């Protein structure tokens, strides 16, 4: 009897400790922007996020399972409703799992094809989590959607996730007729890290004239560069959920298998060698960001002295495939029509603004939509009733209208 009482007491103390930690971090180390609609809903969602990741970190330290696996286990338990108007087929392209979404209604001509890469920093996210979103895209745009289940951290490090995205894309492009897709209307789409993959794969395909030409790319609050982490949006939103500085660096360190001791070096830009700084500063500079995005909470900072060891340990962050924003002008100029979506309360906001300028400077047609009440990851809330944010549906409708107008 005493043992059970002791266990119950310890369990209660453990739960109390976790709860107090969540409350402390949320109220004392987190910024909740007043411009977000349904602030109370946002707070509850963030506390749940903190609770889940805290439990995951504890399980990881105990050697039971990794934090990302624990989080994915939970988010894949969210029920998925079947869409009666969409046929969902589970396939494998080689070893890569994919899901194919096709409208049930017959079509008189080949449909538009959307290759979708989900977000989550290559740590979170899954085919199942994004199932409803892909159903919506397929149904509302009358398109065939191919969602890629690329490999994730911690079981697989870079470059496995990117290779899966590239390989699945090339295979799909070679077999479009099998799925009733018009080769002249293929779109690459992704959110967050999925947007990174979409941008990188799109640049890679420029060098593959033997494949069908991509009609458009749709990038939703993407990560596009690892050179400058002191942009206005980095400073303004460093403590804003759901991509605070701590979350962003955690994703980068895990994905590239970088030791945490180098975090300060790349925060200060000390990982960028002198011969790369001139080129990167020309393309990744706050001067290229509209003035209204720099009016609050931004202080220009010069990069720290070059640290060669930091560069050698983190140089993959600077490769063009991982920082598509610095691609050469001749590659950028060949990119297709682009839709960019940025959110005000997102540390990656300025990545989108800088890419918009790069594309426009090279004559690429760009449609840009800025969501004033948006935050990173909000698109996933579009069909989650307890945590629905109206701007998520606005983003999806922007995407649908863009696809229909192509």
259 is a catalytic site residue: no
DSSP-based three-state secondary structure for 395: helix
| Bridge partners for 97 per DSSP | 92
Selected catalytic residue, list 182, 191, 346, 350? 346
Name which of 244, 317, 190 is nearest 53 in CA terms. Answer: 244
Kindly name the residue from 141, 192, 280, 323 that is annotated as catalytic. Answer: 192
Measured between alpha carbons, how far is 313 from 345 in angstroms, rounded to an integer? Answer: 30
Respond yes or no: is residue 401 known to be catalytic: no
Choose the catalytic residue: 46, 118, 271, 376: 376
Structure tokens at 39: 């602030």
Cα separation of 347 and 329, whole Å?
Answer: 26
Q: 81: burial class by Cβ within 10 Å (0-12, 13-18, 19+)?
A: exposed
> Can you list the alpha helix ranges (DSSP code H) found in 114-244?
131-141, 160-174, 193-205, 232-236
> In the annotation, is 192 catalytic?
yes
C-alpha to C-alpha distance for 252 and 264, rounded to whole angstroms = 13
**How many CB atoms sit inside 10 A of residue 334's CB?**
15
Catalytic residue IDs? 192, 346, 376
């Amino acid at each position: 009897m005493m043992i059970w009482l002791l266990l119950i007491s310890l369990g209660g103390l453990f739960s109390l400790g976790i709860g107090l930690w969540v409350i402390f971090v949320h109220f004392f180390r987190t910024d909740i922007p007043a411009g977000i609609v349904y602030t109370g809903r946002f707070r509850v969602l963030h506390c749940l996020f903190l609770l889940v990741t805290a439990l995951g970190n504890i399980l990881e330290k105990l050697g039971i399972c990794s934090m990302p696996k624990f989080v994915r286990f939970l988010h894949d338990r969210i029920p998925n409703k079947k869409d009666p108007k969409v046929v969902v087929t589970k396939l494998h392209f080689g070893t890569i799992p994919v899901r194919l979404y096709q409208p049930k209604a017959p079509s008189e001509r080949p449909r538009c094809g959307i290759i979708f890469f989900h977000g989550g920093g290559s740590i979170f996210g899954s085919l199942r989590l994004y199932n409803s979103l892909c159903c919506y895209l397929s149904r509302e745009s009358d398109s065939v959607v191919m969602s890629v289940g690329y490999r994730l951290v911690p079981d697989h490090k870079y470059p496995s996730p990117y290779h899966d995205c590239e390989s699945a894309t090339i295979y799909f492009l070679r077999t479009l007729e099998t799925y009733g897709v018009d080769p002249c209307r293929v779109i690459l789409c992704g959110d967050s890290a999925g947007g990174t993959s979409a941008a990188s794969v799109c640049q890679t395909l420029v060098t593959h004239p033997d494949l069908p030409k991509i009609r458009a790319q749709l990038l939703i609050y993407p990560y596009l560069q690892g050179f400058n982490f002191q942009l206005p949006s980095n400073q303004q939103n460093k403590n804003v959920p759901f991509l605070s500085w701590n979350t962003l660096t955690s994703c980068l360190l895990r994905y590239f298998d970088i030791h945490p001791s180098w975090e300060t070096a790349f925060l200060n830009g000390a990982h960028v060698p002198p011969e790369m700084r001139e080129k990167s500063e020309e393309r990744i500079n706050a001067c290229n960001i509209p003035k209204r995005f720099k009016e609050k909470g931004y202080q220009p900072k010069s990069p720290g002295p070059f640290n060669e060891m930091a560069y050698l340990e983190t140089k993959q962050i600077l490769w063009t495939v991982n920082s598509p924003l610095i691609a050469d002008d001749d590659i950028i100029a060949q990119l297709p029509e682009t839709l960019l979506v940025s959110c005000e309360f997102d540390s990656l906001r300025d990545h989108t603004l800088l890419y918009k300028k790069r594309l426009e400077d090279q004559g690429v047609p760009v449609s840009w939509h800025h969501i004033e009440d948006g935050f990173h990851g909000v698109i996933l809330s579009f069909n989650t009733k307890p945590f629905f944010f109206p701007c998520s549906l606005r983003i999806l409708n922007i995407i649908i209208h863009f696809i229909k107008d192509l």
